[in-house]
Structure 1
Amino acid sequence: MSIHLNRRQLLKAGAVGAAAVALPPALPATSAAAYPVPAKMEWWYAARFGMFIHFGSYSYRGLGEWAFYNEGWSKADYQTQVSARFNPAGFNAASIVGLAKRAGMKYLVITAKHHEGFAMWDSKVASFTDTTGRRLYTLPSYTGFQRDLLAELKAECERQGIVFALYYSIVDWCHPSQTVRSTGLTTMASMTARANYIRDMKEHLRELITRYDPALLWFDGDWFPERNPQTLTDWWNADDGRDLYNFCISLKPNLVINERVKRNTGLGDYLCPEQTVPARPLPRPWETCQTLNGAWGYDSRKENQYKSVRTLVRELVRVVSRDGNYLLNIGPRGDGVVTTGSVNALTGMGAWMSTYSDSIYGTTGSPFTSEPSWGYYTKKPGKLFAHVSTWPTSRQLVIGSLTNTINRVYLLNNPGTSLPYTRSSSGITVTLPASAPNADVSVVVVEVAGDPTAGPPSGGGGTTYQAENAVLGDGASVYSNHAGFTGTGFVNFPASGGSLQFNNVDGGAGGSRMLTVRFANGSGNSRTGRLVVNGAGQNITTPATASWSTWQTMTVTVPLNAGTGNTIRFESTGQDLANIDHIVVAA
């Protein structure tokens, strides 16, 4: 993947082999995304959930895909002592694709060449050799292992209805043209070597596209500083990325390509934040890639660090609610066998998806501008899905206001039984069973006429302001070590002097407004601080909650000016305030 020291912060099938792959259905024309979705990406946008596979000669070492760099190997020693010993005899394409399918994944991306430079196919491009210059640095030529694993995986994807895609690294630590340096970047031997490498890299890609017909190419190894003109150290820029994109599209016009032909320059078809979930929908299609245990390539040291199924399911839901895709990684061992931890995690996700996948596939993000304290929303024409991770003890679930006619409300796991509900200015109040049907995430479906559309907030509605996005002062900090917060974190205050200020708060037409504060106070005692609105202060006391992961709300009436020029500030005075998750200002 990306920089180890600073982690990297499938179109209807293409013209070639389209009929062989059962792509997910395109989105209905009436569905509203947060951004335009090109026709070639409709399958990808509807899929929502994919499998990433990091597999290469580094898997033999069992210390992650950055072993060459992190351990300071020379090219010759790494090639002869690591790559040459790689023997993936246990790689079972049917088993891997079957695992992805049972997990509910709709597409699969495997590393064809990672930063180490080892090609996982029988490439004939002559310059990609070992240090002797006599042997091609490829799986069959360098190890004697003659099976074509990419072809096996492609065939199984076609047989089982999963979309096949490939990863390719632009940077190449073992290529004769390059020498690795800090942060995993490389220095070119000469500008002639640079030109020749780019020419031959395109031939690599020509082989991959024409031989394996991937629906998507996932590039990486592009994080060089932007320089124009290029230099020997910063030898890849946006012009190169644009040229590479156009070259690949010339070979397959409907190919989907990620932004990392040169990230952060507006290139590619979608954004790909790594190991993070954006706090809100992005302006372009996006996909987050995530690990199961903190490792991309197999790392034996992290085999006891797998995320729980609950964490993974909730992360998937959060991503889709913000109109993104979720690419979840496995790293098979050096013998090609998928780890038990990976199988268990994906099997658990599959159990959830077998019941709740209608709330994921083909959905768009939440129709609302704020997120509820109990979970997240997704939607598709005719249905609003409320993903509930915190089951209300009162059995009353308040869902945001909709303009649509409601046909009925029910649990997705029990669609034959309607739930009672009422509508008011506060939203839709649904009476739930006493216990959640799923311990991780349960889904309530509001069946409506048309595409679910948010109504004007009033009463219990309003505008949510996340604490982690406010201005912090005097030691107040953003944390995420206690569960149950609704954004990307919450704010914790020091014993005295800490402050949290929300600027540009919308007061509407002005006048008194109900301010709702979501907080957690696991100290065992109530805590008092100052609430200052547009310079006028008052004391505010937050009662104790059962734990630091138990979030409650309190309300206070505050005077606001008309428009968006209001400030709301919390200050600790002599004792630290409760942790604050967000505030809601009623309309």
Structure 2
Amino acid sequence: MKMKISPKLKFTILFCLSIFTLTVKAKTVTTPKIKPSQEWIDQKFSMFIHFGLYSVYGGVYEGKSVERGYSEQIQSFAGIFSDWYGETANEFNPLKWNPDSVVSLAKQAGMKSIIFTSKHHDGFCMYHSRYTEFNIVDATPYSRDLMKELADACRRGGIGFGVYYSLIDWHYPHAYPISSHNADPLTDEHYEFNMKQIEEIMTNYGDISEIWFDMGSLTPEQSKGLYELVNRLQPDCMISGRLGNDYVDFAVMADNEYPDYKMGIPWQTAASIFNETWGYRSWQVRGDLQEKREEKISSLMKVISRGGNYLLNIGPRGDGSIVEFERDVLLGVGNWISKNSEAIYGSEASPFHTPFEWGDITYNNDKIYAFISKMPANSKIELSGFKGKVKSAELLSTGQPLFFSQKGDKLIINADMGINNRGIDTEAVSEAEFPVIKISFVDGFTINPSIIVNDGKLIPGNSMPVFGHSSLNYYAGYKSLTGYNWAFKTGRKSIIPKLSFTESEVGRSLKLNIDGESQIVTLKPSGEKTITTPKGSVMWGKLYRKPGKGVFGNLEEEGLDFVSVGQLSEDLKTVWKEVIDYKYGEKYQEKISPRQSFILLQEIESDRNQTIAVRLGSGNGAYIILNGRYITAHLSPKRLKYQEEIVLLPLTKGKNQLIVKYYNGYEKKLSYSITPLNEWTIFENNLSSYNLQEKEYHTISLTAEDAESYVSPIRMNNIVIELN
């Protein structure tokens, strides 16, 4: 398809169509103003600032370093009484804070906006709130609206201004008290208090580019109320996914998380200079400046090559001054960006379906940009999987032409200075320069699908999946599969698609797009057949269990072809234990604390390649993989206590491992079950005939028309499309 994609199409659920094939010419810009704006999509790099009352402490309480937890949460981790902590406001006088200098630093670093902590968990407002005197104007000798001055400086400097807002508040008397997890619910009084503060922020501080909600565990109604309030007052303001319950304009990864997959939605990674803290920590071991610059440049490349925006934090001292080490890191990143900005701003995520060992990719118009983070031993950069005639290859920072050869869809760029003196100085990689190669084409390029189906049977296993990031709250964030894409070849001039599915999909509504034309389909059975597992072909082996850890979406076994149950986990603490006398088909119920999980590993041996069925019961959430491969994951905002679903498992001949992470988000008990099925029913829908144009290959995408949100999981992992 021709590469003329409007901003609206980019990040609707049909964004997935663009990953089949991209003939790249030039961007077109549509006139209607929608979220996300093209400006927000293109900014790529922004500054986060954690600055507040906690900055006065600098990670130290009563003369001792507080090593547990983030320093901006020192009130909680040091156990400081609320009145003692409140008295710290008398000492907070950040006279060395200079908003124009901060804006200048952000611009020198190549950042396009600043996101500032209007209020963190401690409840102290860095702006003049009329709803509490616990703010920088009324409670400190500084007596000025610091946030307003920064907002004004951002406008003077020509960059965006956004705010961070903590949904929990340790100072507000009607809120839940300090807890260990920061995911407390909001009382009615606290919710109304938050609504009033958000209204004043959205009203009194000019245009807000984005609002970064954080923590708490809101009801769907509370998330909806805040979402609609912001949209009413600031229609262009982007709203972070940490508002919860899938009310989201852009998804936010876990802290300092860098996904290794592309997403078909707007998203952002928030990162700190040091993973240990966001607020100022006086005793932080800062290490080698060059290594830190390398680390942050590398992280920036990872994020933008997968289509995200990178939000990098600084934590000023209590007097308002910027830590010199953090300043120098940003200036180093900015120096690299200034040489390679063409490959960053306004660029698109890598159009390729598989990664390259030597680094990352972005593209823009008819050019591909190759970010070299790991120089191959033979100093040759290889690129394949595209169609198009390469016109030139050059080092972006200097314009130096590079020697290359092309044969079909394979391009080899010589990065050895020893050949015709036309290559990249390989020492630049170790010096954190991260060379970027600009590859230009004569008349655009096309990306080949990673999988082309020839047998006319489309299943999740031969698709190119599209992922989002669902988030009910911080601890319940996870990779959500939002759609399937297929490319297929056929000699037919028309096809009659037949959809096959199980009882778990009956009644669902989906959107099917064939070669760019969409239709809505409701899965109503017009036929059915019974499938039986051949007797003796499958043996259910041992069942193992271990505690889950981290957020719901953290499953360290994903991506591993085989898990050794006798091996300790990464933290060397948890180990798999065999489950004795487990009764398949029985519903179990266990007392387990909210935000906790456990993982089951089921061994399954098959004497052939075949698909079998299992009925899985789960509580609030389940994350399911087979032989390391993602099958489905879900955690509904409806907070179901128990649900059952049929899951079809494509077994390979020999040993298989089914792994299920069961997560309890809200209940006192968690229910679960595993029921192997010897037979099950497949239902069918025959669709109307569809005429095909003459093409090398055709495309089909499938998304859920009835999804709660564009980041919600599709949950149609049993569907099969036969092209008759």
The TM-score bracket by the shorter chain reads: 0.5 to 0.7
Q: Does 1:75 align with 2:74?
A: no
Report what 1:281 is aligned to: 262
Aligned counterparts of 2:119 and 2:355: Cα–Cα separation in 1: 40
1:371 to partner: Cα distance: 1.1
- 2:37 corresponds in structure 1 to 41
User: Which 5+ residue runs of structure 2 have no aligned equivalent?
Assistant: 1-6, 9-23, 60-70, 418-424, 452-462, 465-555, 572-602, 610-649, 657-724
2:135 paired residue among 135, 138, 158: 138
Once the two structures are superposed, the pairs formed by residues 505-520 of structure 1 within 5 Å of their partners are none
Corresponding position: 1:271 with 2:271: no
Does the CA-based 8 Å contact 2:297-2:333 persist in structure 1? yes
More helix by share: 1
Q: 1:238 — aligned with what?
A: 220
Q: CA 1:300 to 1:568, structure 2 compared with 1: closer, same or farther past 3 Å?
A: farther
The one-letter code of the counterpart of 1:429 is I
Match of 1:472 in 2: 563
Equivalents in 2 of 1:456, 1:281: separation in Å?
15
Q: Does 1:211 align with 2:204?
A: yes
SS at match of 1:159: helix
Task: Provide the secondary structure at the position in 2 that maps to 1:97.
Answer: helix
TM norm structure 1: 0.67
Aligned to 2:242: 260
Q: Deviations over 1:71-129 (max 9, x none)?
A: 1122111101x23311111101111111111111111100011110011111112xx2x
Measure the CA separation in 2 of the matches of 1:478 and 1:408.
48
Partners of 1:89 and 1:335 within 8 A in 2: yes
- Tell me if structure 1 keeps the 8 A contact 2:184–2:216: no
Match of 1:195 in 2: 188
User: How far apart are residue 393 of structure 1 and its match?
Assistant: 4.2
What pairs up with 1:33-432 in 2 under 5 angstroms?
Answer: 38-63=34-59, 64-80=71-87, 82-125=88-131, 128=132, 136-185=133-182, 194-224=187-217, 236-262=218-244, 265-273=245-253, 274-294=255-275, 295-305=277-287, 308-415=292-399, 417-425=400-408, 427-432=410-415
Q: State the Cα distance separating 1:407 from its structure 2 match.
A: 2.1
Aligned counterparts of 2:292 and 2:340: Cα–Cα separation in 1: 18
CA contact (8 A) 1:115 1:221 kept: no
Q: Distance in 2 between matches of 1:413 and 1:202?
A: 48
| Distance in 2 of aligned mates of 1:477 and 1:425 | 47
Question: Cα distance, 1:154 vs. partner?
Answer: 1.5
Verify the 8 A CA contact 1:381 1:450 in the aligned structure 2: no
| Whole-angstrom CA distance in 2 between matches of 1:279 and 1:330 | 25
CA-CA distance at 1:176 after TM superposition: 1.4
1:202–1:78 CA distance, 2 compared to 1 (3 A): same
Aligned partners of 1:386 and 1:32: how far apart in 2? 23
How far did residue 67 of structure 1 move?
0.8
Q: After superposition, give the CA deviation of every residue in 1:469-494 in whole Å (9 maximum; x if it has no partner).
A: 123224567879xxxxxxxxxxxxxx
Q: Is the 8 A contact 1:51 1:105 kept in 2?
A: yes
Q: Which moved more, 1:95-104 or 1:144-153?
A: 144-153
Moved over 6 A (4+): 477-480, 567-570
CA contact 1:121–1:138 (8 Å) conserved in 2 = yes
What TM-score do you get using the length of structure 2 for normalisation? Answer: 0.55
2:252, 2:270 within 8 Å by CA — same for their partners in 1? yes
C-alpha spacing 1:38/1:384, structure 2 compared with 1 (3 Å):
farther
> Which residue of the partner structure matches residue 516 of structure 1?
none
Tell me which amino acid in the other structure corresponds to 1:267.
Y
Q: Partner letter of residue 408 of structure 1? A: S
- Comparing 289-298 and 424-433, the one that deviates more: 424-433
1:197 to 1:566, Cα distance in 2 relative to 1, 3 A? closer
Kept in 1, the 8 Å contact 2:199–2:229? The answer is no
| Structure whose residues are more often strand by fraction | 2
Measure how far apart 1:200 and its partner are.
2.8
1:402/1:453 contact within 8 Å kept: yes
SS at match of 1:337: coil
1:257 deviation in Å?
0.9
**What CA distance in whole angstroms lies between the structure 1 residues aligned with 2:438 and 2:653?**
37
**Against the structure 1 CA distance between its residues 52 and 450, is the aligned structure 2 distance closer, same or farther, given a 3 Å change threshold?**
farther
SS at match of 2:387: coil
Instruction: Answer yes or no: is the 8 Å Cα contact 1:169–1:221 preserved in 2.
Output: yes
Question: Which secondary structure state, in structure 1, belongs to the residue aligned with residue 363 of structure 2?
Answer: strand
SS of 1:66's partner is: helix
In the other structure, the counterpart of 1:495 is none
* Aligned mates of 2:437, 2:103 — CA distance in 1: 31
